[in-house]
Amino acid sequence: MVGPIYIIATALGLAFLLGFFKKLNLQIAETLMLAGVGFMGFISMQWLFGHLAGTITDSVTFTAGFKPPFSISLEMGILEAGITSMINLFGFLGGIYLWRKLNEMGVNAMIIYMVTLMGLNVIVLTRDLFNLFVFLEVSTIGIVGLVLLERHVNTIASGFKYLIAGGVISAFMLIGTIMVYNYAGSLYINDIVTQNIIAVKGGMVAVFLLLMAVVLELKPFPANGWGLDVYESAHPGISALLSAGFATAMLYVLWKLMPLFPAEWKSMIAIVGGLTFIGSNLLGIRQKNAQRLLGYSSAGQIGLLTAVAGLSTFFGAHFLFIAITLLLSHYLAKAGLFWLAGIAKEKEIKSWGVLRKEPLLVVMFGIFILTLLGLPPFPSFFGKWELIMQLSGAGQTTWVIAILAGSFLEAVYLFKWFGYVLKGESKQPIINIRPEQIIAPVVFATIALIGGYYAGDFIGKNNLINFIPLLFIAAIGLLEFLPAWVKNTLSIAAMGYLAWDTLPGLYEQDLLRFVFMTIFILGGILTLIAGYQYKGTRKGFYPSALLMFAGLAGIIQAETLLQFFFSWELMTIGSYFLIIRGKRSLQHGFSYILFSLGGAYLILAAFGMIDAQAGGMLSALSNVTTQVTLIFSLMAIGFMTKTATLGLHIWLPGAHAEAESDVSPMVSAILLKAGVFGLLITFLGMGAENAGNSGLLYVLGWLGAITALVGNLAASFQEDAKRLLAYSSIGQLGYILFAYAMATHLGWIGGFVYVINHFAFKAVLFLTIGAIVLRLGTHNMYEMGGLIKRMPLAFIAVLIGIITLSGVPPLSGFAGKWFFYNALIMKGWYFQGAVILFAGIIAFLYTYRLIQTVFLGQLKDEHRRVKEIPVAFLIPIYILIIGIMIFSMKPHWILAPISEYLSAYFPTNPVVWDGAAATTALGYWNGEWIMYIVGVMFILILGWLLWLNAKATKVKQFNMVYSAERPFRPETTHMAHNMYAGYNKALGFISEPGITNFWNRVASFISDSAGILRRVYTGNGQTYAFHIVAYIVIIYFLIF
């Protein structure tokens, strides 16, 4: 085993050697430097693998043949081996990345780079306080040297400010070190711990100065302006070294020195870290410069890790897992993003759309962003999960709120940036990727993926089950060069296999899950069929769609809280990628992901409290005994972000309307049901029928009724056909929420009918209208009209869809209303019922408008040769219509088993089934006979009308001239624009965007607050020095 002393020997030896051969060929010099850094990494990694294999027993190396305090000791335990391996791996890959830059800067830069890495290794390994100070100075000066070698005005200024700040911090550290030696008589950290010097005031001041020096090197908010300036102006490779290398080393130094500090100081360290996490991420919201934004994020992430160190007493044996996963994720993601900044060469985040010219760069950017945010399947997801679980178990609710708030703020600016990458524009015609620049980010992205698997394997059970779908999705991603129809076929085959593998078992075990899994899988297959209409490769679509469906299937199959949340987040990520694909979906996708993450964090907080009380199984929901209302309220609100309940709905209209034609039905007919499923497991956890008198369900009932009213009313006033259907979905989900909130047998039967119907008719409507939009190139209904002659099959599909939606016999929509109103009367919710009834009347307005303005009236001249909607859309549409007909004719095939299933949870006043006849306390209904009767009546009336009109003369539009009414052109007689102007004047105030305005004001307030707070960063070096001194003084008076 090569001793750690050779890390120092290698670095110094090569540094001197390169100094003697300055005129050596620069390529050879840099090769020697990389070989040296590689050997340093080899030393660290052999120790790391030795510790992991359990073959190392002695991890301390003594220099000069003596033991401390007469020599300096280097400890290479498993943590030191891990941290130095990270530093040296970064150093090696970073050296490759900087190959050309270091060549330009010359041998001196190579020497400084190697010596800086050596300094970082030593501050991790050393157990001597003065040695720590010396090599911290070496590292700091080395970083400043690398920054200043790039001779730009901003770079020189920021490097000088960094030097001033580093000098002030070093002074305090040196004073603290001298005082510690005075009180302890030794500089050996192990000896100092045993001396208990904090028992006297002077000793406590000494360790306080040490603590402040280390904390300030971590760049806490707001005394970190000097660091942010360097992040912004330095070469991206050097900024990566500062964030991933120096910060990693200093975090370990903080942990190494923790035994010196009084136990009560840990709370202060946690508060410093927490404020930095929240403050830095808040200020990052206003940032437009990519590297400075990464600086804010670095400060925030290091603040989070500082807080974790301060809160370590709450984590017990879980501390190392939490710290390592979060640190590793920051290390990988931040280095990767800084490296990508050097490739993109764009300062403004709005210009990062240039990455789309190379799909590999977009993929890596996505991996690093998701890793940084703690989303699956990356290590930080599992680390943050365990962090919240442990804090909840310790009753640290304030810290849970702080961490989730900081995480949300970070998500705001990172997903804004991600949106620009996916949809933004760039002035660069091409992006030039040098071979040496791509190696490092590819390696780190790969490590992030592998690390995610092993982190999940460490913490979870059956982790491979979660990752198998992701492997298939990755394989589809590697086949992006194939035509869309090939990938479409593979995707449908995968969904078919999932149906074969899961549905039979679910039917036998859990009918609730069977119904929703059928909607997810069948809906996925049908909407994917429409994808055959699209030509080309359709890059990015199929991995995104499959990721969403994998998440949807996962929440059904989940047995633990962790599995459920893992799948929930996968579903959110996949659906975000689908939504943002629309031409004008940048803002709508951003709104969707923020509401989704906000809801997810509420669910996570609730899961933390559940895990603390009842364990980590999903079935533990029913065992919650304390904070019941709070827990289930958090869950309900979190799930309602997906169902777009009033107040949380503002993302939905734009997301549905601007999405691609086959994505809109995926989102509306399928994705929204995930929120419904979440609400159902919440209500069952509350006790099902026993929760019927819950105040929470009463509030949700009213919320559902008002959502239905506002959604239907807003739909009636839309000019955009897809936006009309989007608001209609809000209204329909309001009915569903209301039905389930009644918590009765009849209410839940009605809810299931609405869920099944909404899936079917909304998929039919969105597929049909989406296909029409593809044909005509417009969303506006007033630009349509008269299409019944050109698209008769589309007309029939929409007609059946709106009949089902409106609840008119004989289709299954009537069944839903029949059960719904039976339940409402028996529940006694008459006022809510009146609102629901009025909402149903209003629904007639938009259903009539949809069919009138699109298909009836006069055909526009430019549409006279338009064709029927594509066959690829007609196939799933008419399969769904057949399903509607079967469900309408034989509802008991589905509803009778559901009713039997629900009897275990809602035994009072169940529905009695006798074949197709359903009997309740208020009456009976037979869907089969209604279909027969209405069908016969329809045929007879249709035949009679055809006979009467057989010889009728068709009056064309221009025959109106004989009544002295000469129209100008056919389309001018089609009343479609602002069709319900009168109703809008009378009732439009109900659907005014007050809630949207509210959220806009909240966003503006947060953004303005960030703008005010960041004025603390003046750019003046003297001011930054004052910040450091003031920070120390303030903390001193708070502690002493």
For the chain (1040 residues), the mean pLDDT of every run of 10, in chain order, is 91 86 77 94 94 84 74 89 96 94 88 95 94 93 88 85 92 94 90 88 93 95 93 94 96 95 94 96 94 96 97 94 96 97 92 91 96 94 96 95 97 96 81 89 96 87 72 88 94 95 92 96 96 92 95 94 95 95 92 96 97 92 91 96 93 92 94 96 91 91 96 92 95 96 94 96 96 92 89 96 92 91 92 93 92 87 89 96 94 93 91 90 88 89 83 63 55 67 75 86 94 90 92 91
pLDDT score recorded for residue 969: 59
- Residue 912: strand pairing partners: 919
Whole-structure pTM value: 0.94
pLDDT score recorded for residue 462: 57
Per the CB < 8 A criterion, the answer to whether 193 and 256 are in contact is no
Determine if the peptide bond prior to 810 is cis (ω within 30°): yes
Per the CB < 8 A criterion, the answer to whether 565 and 459 are in contact is no
Cα–Cα distance for residue pair 524/670, rounded to 1 Å: 8
- What are the DSSP E strand ranges found in 466-515? none
CA angle 863, 866, 870 (to 5 degrees): 140
User: DSSP readout, 84-129?
Assistant: HHHHHHHHHHHHHHTHHHHHHH-HHHHHHHHHHHHHHHHHHHB-BH
Give the other-Cβ count within 10 Å of 59's Cβ.
18
User: DSSP readout, 544-593?
Assistant: HHHHHHHHHHHHHH--BHHHHHHHHHHHHHHHHHHHTTSTT-HHHHHHHH
What is the residue type of 353? Answer: G
CB proximity list for 500: less than 8 A, separation 6 or greater: none
Distances (CA, A) of 762 to 523, 531, 665, 768: 11, 17, 7, 10
Per the CB < 8 A criterion, the answer to whether 91 and 40 are in contact is yes
What is the residue type of 685? Answer: G
SS3 of residue 60 by DSSP: strand
CB proximity list for 871: less than 8 A, separation 6 or greater: none
Distances (CA, A) of 1028 to 130, 258, 524: 22, 21, 57
User: DSSP readout, 503-551?
Assistant: HHHHHHH-HHHHHHHHHHHHHHHHHHHGGGG--S--TTHHHHHHHHHHH
Cα–Cα distance for residue pair 503/520, rounded to 1 Å: 11
Q: Which of 233, 251, 357, 388 is nearest to 295 (CA)?
A: 233
The interaxial angle of helices 927-948 and 871-889, nearest 10 deg, is 120
pLDDT score recorded for residue 947: 85
Q: Which of 433, 291, 284 is nearest to 354 (CA)?
A: 433
- Residue 924: strand pairing partners: 919
Cα–Cα distance for residue pair 626/638, rounded to 1 Å: 19
Length of the chain in terms of residues written: 1040
Give the other-Cβ count within 10 Å of 54's Cβ.
7
Determine if the peptide bond prior to 469 is cis (ω within 30°): no
Exposed, middle or buried: residue 1005 (CB in 10 Å: 0-12, 13-18, 19+)? exposed
Both tokens of 298, joined, read: 């670095």
Cα–Cα distance for residue pair 726/780, rounded to 1 Å: 14
- Residue 62: strand pairing partners: 73
Cα–Cα distance for residue pair 333/408, rounded to 1 Å: 17
Across the chain, which distance is largest between two alpha carbons, in Å? 117
Per the CB < 8 A criterion, the answer to whether 242 and 233 are in contact is no
